Structures are given as structure tokens and as C-alpha cells.
Amino acid sequence: MIIFRYLAREVLSSMLAVSLVLLMIILSARFVNYLAEAATGKLDAGVLVTLLVLRLPAYLELILPLGLFIGILFAYGRLYLDSEMTVLSACGMSDGRLVSYTMASSFVVALLVGVFSLYLGPEGVRASESLLAEQRNRTDFETLKPARFHSLEKGAGTTYAASISDDKKQLRDVFMARVAPYIDDEAGAPNNDVAVLTAKSGETVIEASTGRKFLLLKDGRRYIGNPGEQNYRVVEFESYSQILPQPDYSIKQKRLTDGLTTQKLFQAKSPEAKAALQWRFSMPVLVLVVGFLAVPLSRTQPRQGRYAKMLPAIILYMLYLVCINAARGTIEEGTAPVPGILWLVHLAFFTLGCVLLVEKRLIFKRQRRDLSKLVGPNS
């Protein structure tokens, strides 16, 4: 039991350190992307942390298997390098006991990954996608910042507001410059005319019957004409409203299935739902398989160095992920050669782990036999 606690502590501490580094890298990259969208007004800066927190279970679902795999390689690689594994083997710890101790730790991680993949991850994806859709479907006027000029609709116009209320509904001292058909299409203005509009106040209103959003401006003037010519039209108004275009933000089908609860995936019949369901159940299995694979891959000779087999092991892990992603893709497209192709991939890599483990034992026995021949039977 002491040996088990020692090995588990070494593996889990290494896994935690690796997972934290990987998590910081992913969160930093995602935060930079969200920050760029916030700088352009597509996202509110106040929701950035919320988005990262909601995405955290989905990130951990993918990070923990890799963290466990690298953690076992680091921990056991150090034990082999310091000859601690040799001492443990001399004290009677067989390869079977080492595998069983490793799988016990891997089983705990698999349970945690199962909670993330089956419950917390889908809830986080659904909530984050809903929040992103709400943010990105805001109109241009809901993304304005006070006392700053903003380019609207890919440079088609410019707008300015001296002050904006906290709910983004009330604007003061509004200035707009746009192509005339957008503002004054009822007057039949030509496309090269420019409309400049000023108003003391403005607000965003929603039509109850249709749900369309309008910008209602009050106490202002409208100037329409072609730059360089004198035939400008000036119109004063007490109130003026215009329809606000609704941005189109569509969620991909894969994101839709990733945001569904596991119970709803059981009820769905689409290939995408079946692939997402198998993927969620396969993530805990992935943890167990990579934990089993890491045991023979971590064995190194003292002269080889701690990181001798790190690169081949990482390549093997990446191949594993590519294969299960390809299997999921065939299920989504309905072109899978067999219904359980995803589980066949797991079985294939588990079989590979068995082969590596048996090969390791054969090499160890051959080394002991060669050593006994060199020493001699009477030594």
C-alpha cells in the first residue's frame, strides 16, 4: 500500500503540473482571440472571463488524458533513471502490479473525465455558445463606446455618440454619416449620395409584433447630397426611426450536438448525435488506454536519459487522437465501415499496449539470462 501511494502521488503530481501548463496555454490562446473580438466591439469585455469559465470543463476533458499520459512518462521515467524501479522489482513488484497500480490512478482520472465529458462539458458548451450568439447578434449600435467614432457595416458608414447608457439603449448627441439609401431610401437618393444625420438623443426600441429592432432618434437634422455639389437637402425632425440590421451568427452542427445533454443525444437519431454520444463515452476509455500504454513506453535505461522515449510516445498519442477523430468523422458522415469503429480504435491501441508490455517482459528476461551467463552459475 505504501508503494501504491508513492507511485500514485508521483503520477498525479506530474499529471497536475503538466495539465496546468497545458491549460494555461489553451486559456491564453482563447483569451487572446476573445480579447481581439472585444476590441472590435463584437464581444462585451465583461463576458470574457465568463466564457473561459464555461469552456473550462470542455478543455479539461481533452487536457487531462494528455496530462496523465505525460505525467506517467515523467514519473516512471525518473524512477527508471534513478534505479528506483530496479529496486522495486528486486523487492518483488512485478509488471502486473505496476500496471494495476497505474490503472487504479488512471481509473480515478477517467471518472473525472467522464463527469466532464458527459455532464459538465456539454452544459458549458451550450451556455457559452448561447452567450456568444447573444453577443455576436448584437446590432452595431449596441456595440458602441461613448465619445468614439465607429465604423459600421465594414466601412459603409461612421457613427458617434457623446454618451451611452449602461444598458446600451440610450444615446446622447448622435452623429451618423452613411450612404443615403440606408437612411433615406424612401426619397430615392442615388447611390453616390451621402447622408449625414445629427440628433440630440437616440434609443433602441423593439417592435412587439415582429421583434425587429429600430433606432429611434429625436430632435435632429438630416443632410443628404453628393460631396462637392451644392444641391443638399436639409430636413429637421422631431423623431426618426430606422430598422437596424440583424447580424447572422449561425452555430455549426457539431457545436449544436456538443451542446446537447447526454440524455438528448440518446434520444436523437442523427449521425452527428450518435458520433457525439460515442465520443463522450470514449473519453474515459481514452484515459484508461493511454494510462496502460504509458507503462511500457516509460521504461528507459539509465544511460538513455529521462526523455529518451518522450518524443515517440507523444507521436503515438497524437496518432491515437487522429484515429479516433477520423473514426468520429466517418460516423458523422455515415460512411463508417462498421458501427463500432470508434471502439475498434481503442481496442487496437489497447492491443498495442499489450504487445509493448509483453515485449518489455521478454527483453527483461533476456537481459537477466545474458547477465547470468556472464556471471556464471557458481557466482
Averaged confidence pLDDT in the chain: 80
Q: What is the pLDDT of residues 326-379, one digit of tens each?
A: 999 898 888 888 778 999 999 999 999 998 888 766 655 555 555 455 555 554
Amino acid 143: pLDDT: 61
Amino acid 189: pLDDT: 44
Q: Give the confidence band of 226 by pLDDT, cuts at 50, 70, 90.
A: confident
Q: Is the pLDDT of residue 227 over 60?
A: yes
Cα 308 from Cα 171, distance rounded (Å): 64
- Kindly state the percentage of the chain with pLDDT values over 70: 79
Q: Give the confidence band of 239 by pLDDT, cuts at 50, 70, 90.
A: confident
Q: Which helix (H) or strand (E) holds 195?
A: strand 194-206
Structure-model confidence comparison of residues 305 and 54, the more confident one: 54
Structural domain boundaries in the chain: 2-136+252-375, 140-243
Stated pTM of the model: 0.73
Cα 186 from Cα 178, distance rounded (Å): 15
Q: What is the pLDDT of residues 202-225, one digit of tens each?
A: 887 777 666 677 778 888 888 887
Q: Give the confidence band of 190 by pLDDT, cuts at 50, 70, 90.
A: very low
Cα 314 from Cα 69, distance rounded (Å): 9
Name the 3-class secondary structure at 301: coil
Structure-model confidence comparison of residues 341 and 139, the more confident one: 341
Q: What is the pLDDT of residues 270-283, one digit of tens each?
A: 888 888 999 999 99
| φ/ψ (deg, to 5) at 220 | -150, -175
How large is the average pLDDT for residues 285-290? 95
* CA 208, chain centre distance (Å): 37
Mean pLDDT is lowest, of 54-58, 108-112, 227-231, for 227-231
> How many of the other CB atoms lie within 10 Å of CB of 316?
19
Concatenated DSSP letters of 35-104: HHHHHTTSS-GGGHHHHHHHHHHHHHHHHHHHHHHHHHHHHHHHHHHTTHHHHHHHTT--HHHHHHHHHH
Q: Which helix (H) or strand (E) holds 313?
A: helix 310-333
How large is the average pLDDT for residues 289-304? 84
